[in-house]
Structure 1
Amino acid sequence: MTSRVMLISPAISAALREARFDDDCSLDESGLRLALAAAGSLPAVSTVWVSPTARCRETARALVLDAGSVPGPAGLDAGRWRGATLTEVTEKEPEALAQWLTDPQSAPHGGESVRGLCDRIAHWLDGTAARVTGRTVAVVEPEVVRAATVRALGAPESAFWRIDVPPLTATELSGRAGHWNVRLGRPLGAPHDT
């Protein structure tokens, strides 16, 4: 059976604006306003998943999605870099950051590697396809969208950093475990297939 999974990236927050490793901050005013404006733009769904961060939960609420239905996959564990800006990490640990950005297996921050994230999200995606019928929507962190896209396309993990995931966009996957088609980056509020 074919499954349809729509991954929605959260609205803008201070962490996204500041290129900061997530510290669970809330949406900023403009992000909340844009998410509220996009409410009602999604097709009917049977299951809603929401990552545990504040910005994902707040985006789901603004989009009038039942955010309490099923906990979604968490974003990348950035370890000791959590809350730091990319500039701060570049200044303090340039070699470690360079290693992390070029070696998908490395996790110099003490958190999760890109490979680990991609494997975890592929497992979640395949499990979702096996368990859930109908259309699924998941409001998830941008790195979750990147990881799902990498695994769905069978792309090398080095492609992870080459995928841009703007706020409040939908990436749609259709297919079944191990065999996915991908439609990338439709802004919420744009026409969709039902």
Structure 2
Amino acid sequence: MTVRVMLVSPAMNAALREARFEGDAPLDRSGRERARAAAGLVPETGLALSGPSERCRETAAALGLPARTEPALSGWDMARWAGRALDEVAAAEPAAVAAWLGDPSAAPHGGESLHGLIGRIGGWLDALDGPDGTVLAVAEAAVVRAAVVHGLGLPARAFWRLDVAPLTLTELSGRSGRWNVALGRPPAGPPAGSTW
């Protein structure tokens, strides 16, 4: 059976604005407002999921989704770097950051390697079987990027070349071993006269 997986990146929060490694932080006021404004644009689906972070859960709620939390959609585990600014970590641990960026199997932060993230999200993606063949999930940008890398069979280094803006929809359709991808659209296209 062909599965349609729609991944919505969560709305903005302070950690994203400050280029901090994903920590569990709430949406900021602007993020909540934009998510509420997009609520009517989210496609109908048989199964709605949310990553377990507060940002994902708040985005799903603001979008009006009856989403259940899916632990497999956890953001990238950055362990001791979680919540810290990239600039701060790069200044304190330049060799560790270089290893993390250059070697997909490295995890100098003590958490999950890039290969580990891609493998975990790829396993979730390949095991999907939505009730009507459609799944909608609010998931951190790193999860969306990992799904695209896995789905298209890209080398891990391609992860760093993918940008996922807040409140955009990335769609994968197909099945294990054969996925097509539509990247970074507003959930259903902006209404006439609006901007994102």
Q: TM range, normalised to the smaller chain?
A: over 0.9
Amino acid at match of 1:64: G
Amino acid at match of 2:52: P
Partner of 1:158: 157
Q: Please give the residue correspondences for 1:90-105 in structure 2 after superposition, counting only pairs within 5 Å.
A: 90-105=90-105
Partner of 1:139: 138
Question: Partner of 2:41: helix, strand, or coil?
Answer: coil
Q: Distance in 1 between matches of 2:140 and 2:40?
A: 21
CA deviation vs aligned residue, 1:123-167 (integer Å, no higher than 9, x gap): 000111x46433110100000000000011110000011100000
Partner of 1:53: 53
Partner of 1:183: 182
Instruction: Judge which range, 29-38 or 132-141, deviates more.
Output: 132-141
Structure 1 unmatched runs, 5+: none
CA contact (8 A) 1:5 1:136 kept: yes
- Structure 1 residue 118, shift from structure 2 partner: 0.1
CA contact (8 A) 1:49 1:71 kept: no
RMSD: 1.5
Question: Partner of 2:7: helix, strand, or coil?
Answer: strand
Amino acid at match of 2:39: A
In the TM superposition, structure 1's runs of 4+ consecutive aligned residues that sit over 3 Å from their partners are 69-72, 130-133
Distance 1:70 1:47, change over 3 A: farther
Q: Distance in 2 between matches of 1:132 and 1:119?
A: 24
CA deviation vs aligned residue, 1:75-131 (integer Å, no higher than 9, x gap): 100011011000110110011001101110000000000000000000000111x46
Q: Distance in 2 between matches of 1:5 and 1:161?
A: 22
Partner of 1:30: 30
Between the two proteins, the alignment pairs up a number of residues equal to 191
Q: Distance in 2 between matches of 1:50 and 1:44?
A: 15
Q: Distance in 2 between matches of 1:71 and 1:101?
A: 25
Q: Distance in 2 between matches of 1:164 and 1:77?
A: 19
Structure 2 unmatched runs, 5+: 191-196
Question: Partner of 2:169: helix, strand, or coil?
Answer: strand
With normalisation by structure 1, the TM-score equals: 0.94
Partner of 1:16: 16
CA deviation vs aligned residue, 1:22-41 (integer Å, no higher than 9, x gap): 22110000000000000011
- Structure 1 residue 178, shift from structure 2 partner: 1.3
CA contact (8 A) 1:72 1:140 kept: no
Question: Partner of 1:104: helix, strand, or coil?
Answer: coil
- Structure 1 residue 64, shift from structure 2 partner: 0.4
- Structure 1 residue 70, shift from structure 2 partner: 4.7
Q: Distance in 1 between matches of 2:30 and 2:75?
A: 22
Partner of 1:173: 172
Amino acid at match of 2:187: L
Instruction: Judge which range, 49-58 or 69-78, deviates more.
Output: 69-78
